[in-house]
Structure 1
Amino acid sequence: MRPITRKFAYGLLALVVVLLALGALPSLLGSGDPYHLTAEPTAAEGPAYNLTAEGTDDLTRRRFQFFFSAVDAPDGRSKPYREGSIGIKESFTHSPFDEMESFRSFAPQNATVDDSVFVEFDGQRYRVQVVQAGEGD
């Protein structure tokens, strides 16, 4: 191989390694208390985001992984999510904040109250919100 071709190949290999590291690294970064998406069953009437209409296929479960984690959990809290300390992680990872933004964007008018959104799934209504766990949780 010619020297310039070898340098280009090494540079390309280094770029691929860096991009792979950037894909894996954000999930390892995290600081502060974890955030959870909570899904509390409620009897409140009114408009709600209808998640049942989307179905429960694998794509929907991956799109709303924090919501389904909260619904399946006995305490109604999703798996924890820690924000990145310098703001890079949020660009590369899926977060409960992303799910809340989706619910808010597509929910009917008046389905949001303060920091929460009403979501209907399989005939059950949930009040969904993101909470930050305190010390000792």
Structure 2
Amino acid sequence: MRPVTRNALVAIVGVLAVLLALGALPAHIATGDPYYVEATAADAAGPAVAGENLSERRFPYSFGAVAAAEAGADPARSEAYYSGVVGFKAAFTHTPFEEFQEFETRAPDAVDRRGEGPVGDVAHLGVNGTRYRLTVVRVSGGEG
């Protein structure tokens, strides 16, 4: 193999390894205070995103919180999402904020964005005949 070909192959493999690391490693970054999606059964009737039309794999934070609520957990929270260093992780991983943006696209009346940033955003999700109030919360200092 000629040196030019070998160097080109090494460079291509190196670039592929870096791209693979960028795609895989950010999911394991756990810095800063965690964000959770918290679910509570909503008492009043109103608009809600139809959960029966959604994939639990596409909305793991929301459905994780609903599953915790159905199991009687208090508080009923999803798995933690850590934003990572200066928001770097959000460019490469799925976030609960993207789930709320998708809910707003599907049913704008079911989402209330009066909170500061993503914390305090509220979405209503209908699952198995129950309307759930989903909220993005940030827990500081290891309260989670």
TM-score, length-scaled by structure 2: 0.84
Task: Report what 1:41 is aligned to.
Answer: 41
| Alignment deviations for residues 65-95 of structure 1 (CA, whole Å, 9 cap, x no partner) | 0111111222310000110212211010011
| Alignment deviations for residues 81-124 of structure 1 (CA, whole Å, 9 cap, x no partner) | 11021221101001111111111121143x22332111111100
Indicate the RMSD between aligned Cα atoms, in angstroms.
Answer: 1.4
* Equivalent residue for 2:131, pick from 109, 125, 128: 125
Shift of 1:135: 2.0
Matched residue count: 131
> Structure 1 runs of 4+ off > 6 angstroms?
none
Shift of 1:134: 2.6
Is the Cα contact below 8 Å between 1:81 and 1:96 reproduced in 2? yes
Task: Report what 2:11 is aligned to.
Answer: 11
> Percent sequence identity over matched residues?
42
Task: Report what 2:80 is aligned to.
Answer: 80
Distance 1:3 1:136 in 2: 53
- Residue segments in structure 1 that go unaligned for 5+ positions in a row: none
Task: Report what 2:59 is aligned to.
Answer: 64
Is the Cα contact below 8 Å between 1:100 and 1:129 reproduced in 2? no
Task: Report what 2:117 is aligned to.
Answer: none
Q: Relative contact order, CA 8 A, sep 6+: which one is greater? A: 1
Distance 1:36 1:18 in 2: 30
- Residue segments in structure 2 that go unaligned for 5+ positions in a row: 115-120
Q: Residues 120, 95 of structure 1: CA spacing in aligned structure 2 closer, same or farther, 3 A cutoff?
A: same
Higher strand share: 1
TM-score, length-scaled by structure 1: 0.88
Distance 2:108 2:27 in 1: 33
